[in-house]
Each structure stands twice: as structure tokens, then as C-alpha cells.
Structure 1
């Protein structure tokens, strides 16, 4: 654990991981601190990059993007420049929700969303077929979204 983070900071972070809309008053109550003290701690945690982003997780059933795909990608060449180019393409593509550089047979694992199979096919054209450095990609279609999250077990 980071030496600059104490148990009170962990309580704040655990609470925010559950619901980042929690107000300062409630955080102060949970931590038994004053509101200004919680504000200072939050500023320090944000400035220290312990909190990377505060977002809303949307329910995809209420939108057109109902399909989730797990895609493993093998590149032909793995130079630093080629890896960076692929990372930039993945980051720039709104339908790529997550991108991991991994060990093993694949070079990258992507979590992607699409409206339907035709929409996913268009995504594969943009990301893989138009990229001469992609050797192959393998796709699994998620049947169910059993657990979604990025919380750390702190």
C-alpha cells in the first residue's frame, strides 16, 4: 500500500468506488471528519493521481450498444513504434472500452461494444483489416455481463 494513504483515505476511496456521487457531507460522516478535512483529502488523492477518473457506468440495455466482444489481437511486428500505433488506434476508437497489452499468444486484449454483428464487422474493418500490422484476431461474444467494474479490493 502507498505510504501516503491511510485508513481514512481508504474509506473515502472505497466509498467513492461504490458511488462517486456521494456528497461531502456523507463522506465526512462515514469518515468521522469535517467537510473541509474531506475536501483536502480528496484534493490530495486527485492531485496524487490515486483517483484517475470519476464516471457514470451506463446500462447498455437502455442504448443501442447491446453486444460485448472480447478480442485478442496478434501483431506482426512488435516494435515500440508499432505497439504505440496500435495503442493510439485503440484509444481513439470509441467502441473499444478497454485495451490491455498482454503476455502470451495475443499482444492485446480488447473489450469492445457494438450495436449488432454488422456494427462489429465495421469495427473490425477499421481496427484490424485496415491495419497491415495485425496478423490475426480472435473474437469471443459475451453471452452475459455477469460482473462489470474496475473497483480495486482495497
Structure 2
């Protein structure tokens, strides 16, 4: 992946626009950054090919699908061998309820951001992922009261 040092001011300006709204037409982006639409298109393709643009997605408000709970979980492992960590990582990747998973340093080994409809769905998830896994020593649950800020934007 390229570093921001290899990106020119046009690339950075395009990325700023796309992070805010990836539906802005390339013609409009070109007008904003003083490039032609074909040039913008080539740059976007290059940014995608290099991995700088990882995905084009829509942020969906879970409230539109009924009640939802956002839960933050710290997970501590019994064993920290490479193989055990990889198995746990894969189980977290495979769980659709887990929106984000971070392998971290400190007291916890993983921090998870989980979205479920209610506590009974979360309880079933804990049975499936945590209690049935001997590698997991303990987990600590934080139920959010408000989704104050949800973003994946990077300060460019």
C-alpha cells in the first residue's frame, strides 16, 4: 500500500471528497479539484488498485431496522500462541454481528464492536463465541447508551 507521502495534492483532495460522500460524480470532483473527469477516474482506479481506497460502501443506520444495541467487548485469552490467536481472529471475522475487531496490546487481547437487536441475541452470541471457546479466558461487556460518533474517515 502506498503511504500518504506518495500521494499528490490532487489524490488527497479526491480522497477527502470521497470519504465524505462516495456518490459525488467524477465530473463534480474534477470541478472541485481542478482536474478533468477522466483524470479523476484514472486516479480513483489507481487508488483502488493500490489499496488506498479499500472499499466503496454506504453507512447504514441500524435504527432503520428496528431496535439495535451497540456493544463494545474486551476479550482476554488464556493462550497467546500464533495458532490460537489466528483461530480466535477467524471466529470473530466469521461472526456477522461483529462490525469491528481489533487485536490490541494491554490487559485485553481483542476489542470488538458488536451490533445486535437485543440482549438475548447478544447472550446467544456470547455462548457461541466466548463460552464455547477454551482459548477465551474472560470478556468484559460495555453496552453503549448512544452512538455518538460512528465514522471510518481518516484525517487527510
Short-chain TM bin: over 0.9
CA deviations 1:87-140 (Å, max 9, x no partner) are: 101111000000000011000000001100001001111110111110000000
Q: Which residue of 1 aligns with 2:75?
A: 73
Structure 1: which 5+ runs fail to align? none
Taking the aligned partners of 1:39 and 1:58, their CA distance within structure 2 comes to 26
Taking the aligned partners of 1:78 and 1:104, their CA distance within structure 2 comes to 13
Taking the aligned partners of 1:65 and 1:110, their CA distance within structure 2 comes to 20
CA contact (8 A) 1:73 1:134 kept: yes
Task: Tell me how far 1:30 sits from its aligned partner.
Answer: 1.0
Task: Tell me how far 1:65 sits from its aligned partner.
Answer: 5.5
Matched positions, count:
154
Q: Which residue of 1 aligns with 2:147?
A: 145
Q: Which residue of 2 aligns with 1:86?
A: 88
Q: Does 1:106 align with 2:108?
A: yes
Q: Which residue of 1 aligns with 2:54?
A: 52
Structure 2: which 5+ runs fail to align? none
User: Alpha carbon RMSD of aligned pairs, Å?
Assistant: 1.0
CA deviations 1:54-113 (Å, max 9, x no partner) are: 111111111145100000000100111111111101111000000000011000000001
Q: Which residue of 2 aligns with 1:41?
A: 43
CA deviations 1:6-53 (Å, max 9, x no partner) are: 111011001010011111111111111111100110111111100011
Q: Which residue of 2 aligns with 1:8?
A: 10
